[in-house]
Amino acid sequence: MPNRPSWRLTAYGIAFAGALFCDLLLHPVQGISIVALLGAIGVAATLIRVTTALRLPTGLAVWTALLPLGLDRAILPIATSVRPAAEVVHGLTLWPICLMAVFGSRVLALSTRSNYLARWDDPVRAPVAVAEQSLGAALAFGFALTIALLALVPIDGAGSDRPQGILVAALRGTTVIHVLIVYAACVVATLVADGFALLAADWRTLVLARRGIRMAQGDRARIDAAVDRLPNTRIGLLFKTELGRDGADDWAAHQQFREASRLFIRRSLTLLPLLGFLGTVVGLSAAVADLPFGTGGVQSGDLGASLRGLAVKFETTFLGLVGSAVLGAVLSLLERLEAETAAGVLQIVGRVTAAPTARGRAGP
């Protein structure tokens, strides 16, 4: 098993502290309460660890700083403003909080990965709640990605009637539902991208396994030793399971963790069209409420202006469907590559287990 990423965790923690320091320099008054809160959390964590031998989660300090600052700097201004979210973001200084979200997401992801690897070292003493992928990291990075997208969207000029024009208009975030759809899509995209990172680790493990098996030159003892040295990634556990090595039972547990992560992603994909439908309901409600009516006489109302709320309907539905379709296709590609990688492992194992028989037929 590879060493846990302690030095990277420390580096990202220092970077997160630097981004927090920059934000406090720009907003010193609000920063006093954050520093006091972080100090209180640190003292409480030390007392709990000394008196009860329990350790608080590594990401607690990240959320202690990120949540209140994110609410104060971006979330509340966007939610309470009547202007499009893109215009609100363009008028705010959000780069420190975005850097905090990026570095904080890496702290959360690496600490989650460290706890997950500890599960295979000693399942009894490992943390109770572990996961293969960090939802907190996805939420933090999705926040930074959402702010970046809103900052890149042009705030002037009306969208055309073409699909790309409708998409740009929807990304401007004329309602809170628009922003929720973009944020949910960014969170799911982060989880899918993390899945590709895990797939890359599987490919590196596969390269190590093929190299070790090739250097063993058919010697089963050397092959087993090479497999035992493989990291406990999905592919490493599959090699150990198929060749009957120690830790083979961990494959089933790993698959349960993997399926739990994928189930959350698949169900989150269904959330995007539902949010789009919610925008449809809001748009229809606004359109019906603005319809001209009366108990008598002739009403000279502009029906086109009354139905302006229907634009929200089409924008949110379009945005939700596009996000769900694109991310669903990327997720299908990820799962196809994972299945092909596992099939390659089974092919190598088949050659390894059949090699003595093949040599027996061919003679000495």
Does residue 236 contact residue 210 with C-beta atoms inside 8 Å? no
The two three-digit tokens of residue 241, written as one number: 């399971």
pTM for this one?
Answer: 0.84
For residue 364, count CB atoms less than 10 angstroms from its CB and return exposed for 0-12, middle for 13-18, buried for 19 or more.
exposed
The two three-digit tokens of residue 4, written as one number: 């846990």
> CA-CA distance, 348 to 350, in Å (whole number)?
5
**126-172 pLDDT, tens per residue?**
666 678 888 989 999 999 999 998 888 876 655 556 667 777 777 87
**39-91 pLDDT, tens per residue?**
777 677 666 666 665 565 667 778 878 888 888 888 888 888 878 888 888 88
